[in-house]
Structure 1
């Protein structure tokens, strides 16, 4: 009963969080929170850094990112020291042979220095130890594929692992599909689409029981205008370990879905002094490829993080771009970092700009604070971040 009472209080706070006036929210510059920088060491084969996670093992934090398999004979998961930025270890998983995952890899998640999960095109989940040995293979989707998109149709293969919590693996499903793949398509003409009645955005797989649970909620009202924008169906979020809730965010919506398991419990619309404007990305030809670029005045939600140590919810949003250039790479990008308490009460908004072609593209959160990539990367041997101090927001 006490737990239910606390949850009802939390829901009441959620629905009241958008009633505050802008005069109650502190507005400043991100520079006020930047206390230093941090660099990740890169080797000569690592051209890009992506899929950054922070893992904790035996009270030791590591930054983990994936080194692409197409330039090696194995998947390499680097474990980087949060102090030095240098590689402290790695997990190597073969791409061929009996220890590999057949059918190609869709997603990976590093849980600790001795545990990695991979999921392939077939829906199989492979569990590996720190030596790259496959210790288990799970296949719970064989009788579930026809049901997963809610219509008895195709299995949505564009998923990725977004959370691991005790025995539960959470998959974020992306139903977007290419429409014109069976004929030669000129650059700029490749089209995608996702079904407007899609409801299975989140799937939970219990590795102990084999139970598979699927969500049953619709996209936000008005989101159908983004059906041909495949960036709109790549959702993201954060797990609130204190309240055992997951906050699911939409790239082109102010709304955040509060999930209890796969069930939507409520909807949050965090108050902001910014009026976000959402428009579908524009399809452009670039060399021989089709690229999606946001309109100049378009907004986008970029990431949502939960800081367990300080009980904070952190959201970063792109507001718009400015400048006379027709190219997004030559325009200034404007952002806001919003700091909220665990009850979604605003603790401040901090604005910043990137004036180079690089956008906010990488971020991670450790016990030391929040790290966001710098707009200029001057060295090929390292990748630089701003270090943002969050200690002033602790209760």
Structure 2
């Protein structure tokens, strides 16, 4: 994984140079995706049996943070497109072979909200629906989509994630937003596509760590909870954006002179010193907790043990709080940066927009997730597929 990190670092100057056009055009350039692919970035969490590195998720998310520090939209896209091979490894072997058999470098996008409808048919299901917020879908040849199977009374009886090839869905360009503009998180529309049973995975089975893909992918990487791995992919780029914002603030403040409140250099302002210290501490705390939890989950998997509920709940607690810490850090720096940071395209302004957009992802529902942790602490049952 160290070679991968070095390859990614070599791309960072070009990714940073393209950050403005990525934001303006609402697209991560195809050239950037190609360079990340050639660097092996999207192979980090893919199984070895399909040419992947089957690497350390902590190292993968460190690479994500570095990319996001140069361009948050690119880091976000890299995180979600890069984490999906990990989930495909949980599917039936036939599904994995279909995804990577024809195209060993195939990418996948996702939209996990269970808004699709599944009707049982011979050998599988008929799927219909419309999903929003599928980041990077234009770069992907497959989609992971959330759907429900309804009972006779119309109520959901099961929640599933289905794997659909690009030939069976349409993409509607609707992405015109304030932050994370370059992610092109457009809508996916499916009209009665037939999904074979081997391209379906039950969300309950994922949460229970009992997946069809475990028969062929036996490494500890694939014994981690989906609720910890995917949500880390949402928080890591936000933390990377905060790190990039902190660097930009320090660099721009060095030579700036305050024109009011007595003047003087920003770099000599003790309140600026305190803001930098607080922001840096918030970011460090979030990163340390995120990495500690992933490492402990991986240790459990290496020992062949299911992680205890307390650890799974703690991982989610620290993940959402990590996002909250990143937002607080960026807000503090933005407030101290002066009127110059209001200019559209300023790195601090862009980071402020991006982290607030990322904070609105469903995986970052802070209060509800913290309430789950508290419920578990009091000994109550916790039913949530993201724990």
Give the TM-score taking structure 2 as reference length. 0.25
- Give 1 or 2: higher strand fraction: 1
- Give 1 or 2: higher helix fraction: 2
Give the TM-score taking structure 1 as reference length. 0.24
